[in-house]
Amino acid sequence: MSDIHFVISAPRSGSTWLTNALNHHPEIFSTEHRLFGNFSEIWQNNDGTSSPRITLEAFIESFAGHYFHSELGLSRSQFINQFQRTLTNSIVRFGSGRSDKKLIVDKITPYPGTSKDVMRQVKKFFPDASIIQLIRDGRDVLTSGTFDWILKDSHGTDRYQFFHKQKKGLRLRRFFDHDAICKWAQNWKETVQIFEDEAPSLMIKYEDMLDDQPNALCKIFKLLNVADDTEIAKSAAEKTTFKKVTGRESGDMIPTAKARKGIRGDWKNYFSRIDGRIFHSIAGDQLLSTGYESDPKWFEQLPEELSFADQ
């Protein structure tokens, strides 16, 4: 079996940035398999089209409904387990063989409601794998995610009119809505909770990567027992800077860009007091336990409303 390890994070936490950097190591092939978590939905894309978001686990669950597994002397659950193991191993071997690299790092951003199942399946199929927790301030995750979905789920909102339509004369007094906060706060909370009972092999913070990505990469190289080379880490970091990837300086925002701004703490520009209260009611415990906040009343310092004028 190929040597595989995992990076698990909430969406919008820098996992694509880290994956691209890891691929600059001569012994690592990093990718995204979407192996685990029973999830299948049709999602709208930014260009107005729609496409499925489906994991291998969900595909196999559906496939089992049509396959004559009883003719093989297998129950449905036996078939699912054996077929999933076969396909999972084949997919991993394919990447290993084509890349001709020593090991694979699979990035996982669990779909809503699947984090616990993802962790259970990772441990079931790859019990010896190292698991890296990549974490970002959940409030920045919410902000980044809400911008990322601005063309998908915000039609009719003031944020859509302000940032996408650039409607003249509009003063934006609140950026988020209740549903957006609940969706992103809950998903962030779920990915933090899976590490509360059992610590990861290594925890990397998005903010630490902003400060010193070569150092963060060297920690991962050491964990994975590949060449722990500072020059490799520096080169990988230089090739995957925000400016190299986007052509923009960090902080130079394009609201609907996948890599929007590339900074920390941007949430402070978009949170009103009610937004902070809602976020804290969902994921406040995790915000405190991960060290992103020390004051359980942090939201009381936020403005009653925003005051964004025409861009």
Domain ranges across the chain: 3-301
pLDDT at position 195: 98
pLDDT at position 310: 58
Report yes or no: 265 and 211 within 8 Å, Cβ to Cβ.
Answer: no
What's the CATH class of domain 3-301?
Answer: alpha beta
pLDDT at position 125: 96
pTM beyond cutoff 0.75 = yes
Mean pLDDT of the chain: 95
Distance (Å, whole) CA 139 – CA 292: 9
Summarised one tens digit per residue, pLDDT across range 130-186 is 999 999 999 999 999 999 999 999 998 999 999 999 888 899 999 999 999 999 999
pLDDT at position 74: 98
pLDDT at position 47: 87
Summarised one tens digit per residue, pLDDT across range 270-310 is 999 999 999 999 999 999 999 999 999 999 999 999 988 75
Summarised one tens digit per residue, pLDDT across range 201-216 is 999 999 999 999 999 9
Summarised one tens digit per residue, pLDDT across range 54-80 is 999 999 999 999 999 999 999 999 999
Distance (Å, whole) CA 96 – CA 1: 10
**Helix, strand, coil tally for the chain in percent (to 5):** 50, 10, 40
Which is it for strands 131-135 and 3-8: parallel, antiparallel or unpaired?
Answer: parallel
pLDDT at position 2: 57
pLDDT at position 1: 41
Mean pLDDT of the region 10-14:
97
Distance (Å, whole) CA 194 – CA 29: 25
In this structure, how many other beta carbons lie within 10 angstroms of the beta carbon of residue 213? 22
CA distances from 220 to 7, 119, 213, 270, 291 (A): 10, 19, 11, 33, 21
Mean pLDDT of the region 81-98:
96
Report yes or no: 118 and 11 within 8 Å, Cβ to Cβ.
Answer: no
